[in-house]
Structure 1
Amino acid sequence: MDEAALKMHLVGRVRAFGEKWNLIENDIYTRSREEEQSLRAQYPGIEYHFASRSDWFTLFGERTAPLFDEYCTDKRRVYGGKNPGSFGFPSKFNGIDDPLDVNVEIKTKSRAEVYIKTPTQFKDEYLFVMLKKAGEWRIDSYKQRRYGHEKWDSAIL
């Protein structure tokens, strides 16, 4: 695979991961909000606080776990990973499906960085570290920044 094809491949993997993550997160968030609205209508008083709720975090983890198997390195992730502790709005990789700018820098034969700038109101930017393991490129980690800040913040994957 020549360098141009490799760069396209890496961007494709990152975007596929982010887009799939966002679809899952947006669905879980929407369904959890609908459940909360339903419970508020059903239990308008103090009983609302004691009503039984779905375990959205477990469901979110179950649905995102296959993404780690398909797209990410298998390193131990103390936080996040297959047991994410949160979901919300906007989704984690908001804007990744319609980037303003994309750049790939091949650092070594087994390491690359994929940069994505989004058109979101927060001006989200992502920097994914990709590692080649057993002949396959996988996401190892990522950083993010907003509002054009110079400093990247390490993020939990």
Structure 2
Amino acid sequence: MDKIEIAKNRLSNFIKAMNSWEKECNKIEEEDIDETEQFRLQKQMLTDIFSEYCTERKRQNGRPNTISYGAEGSFEYDPEEERIINTNECENKVLITTKREKPMQEEFIYTLLWKGGNWLLDSKKRYSRWKNKWEVVSL
């Protein structure tokens, strides 16, 4: 398997992991436990995902420091809806563009860096049709 295919698989696995996390967060929200414990459980799962799939760097206003997730039917990460439409490789970096139609039409660019023998997600951008430009969003 070539480097691009490995990077694409890595992104696909991250999207699946985040989708599972969002589903689990909704289940935790329904449990009869206090909000502090809910947050702790949700953050621990998210931190584990980021440790496995993402570069280590400060993400002050984004995940895993903040907890935000979609409800059933409007998950931010949906492996059934988000599909890879383009890849671009340069040195130790791969840019992967994805597109989804539901719950609304969106395009994203994920940046993956080659570090420690693995492709790790470093950032995500969403195309704003309103502003006609790419904007950084939380992973």
Q: Same fold (TM over 0.5)?
A: yes
Shift of 1:148: 8.7
Shift of 1:116: 0.8
Q: 1:109 — aligned with what?
A: 91
> Can you give the 5+ residue segments of structure 1 that lack an aligned partner in the other structure?
39-51
1:16 aligned partner, one-letter code: N
| 2:78 equivalent to 1:81 | no
Q: 2:47 — aligned with what?
A: 65
Shift of 1:100: 4.5
Q: 2:123 — aligned with what?
A: 141
1:139 aligned partner, one-letter code: L
CA distance in 1, matches of 2:117, 2:81: 29
CA distance in 2, matches of 1:110, 1:151: 25
RMSD over equivalenced CA pairs, Å: 2.5
Max Rg structure:
1
CA distance in 1, matches of 2:125, 2:84: 16
Answer yes or no: is the 8 Å Cα contact 1:57–1:86 preserved in 2: no
User: Structure 2 vs 1, CA of residues 100 and 18 (structure 1 numbering), >3 Å: closer, same or farther?
Assistant: closer
TM-score of the pair, normalised by structure 1: 0.73
Point out the structure with the larger strand share.
2
Q: 1:28 — aligned with what?
A: 25
Q: Deviations over 1:72-120 (max 9, x none)?
A: 1111221233332323322232x343435421111x2111101111131
**3-state SS of 1:142 partner:** strand
> Can you give the 5+ residue segments of structure 2 that lack an aligned partner in the other structure?
none
Answer yes or no: is the 8 Å Cα contact 1:101–1:118 preserved in 2: no
Q: State the percentage of identical aligned residues.
A: 24
Q: 1:92 — aligned with what?
A: 76
Q: How does 1:127-138 map to 2 (within 5 A)?
A: 127-138=109-120
Answer yes or no: is the 8 Å Cα contact 2:8–2:96 preserved in 1: yes
User: Structure 2 vs 1, CA of residues 83 and 121 (structure 1 numbering), >3 Å: closer, same or farther?
Assistant: closer
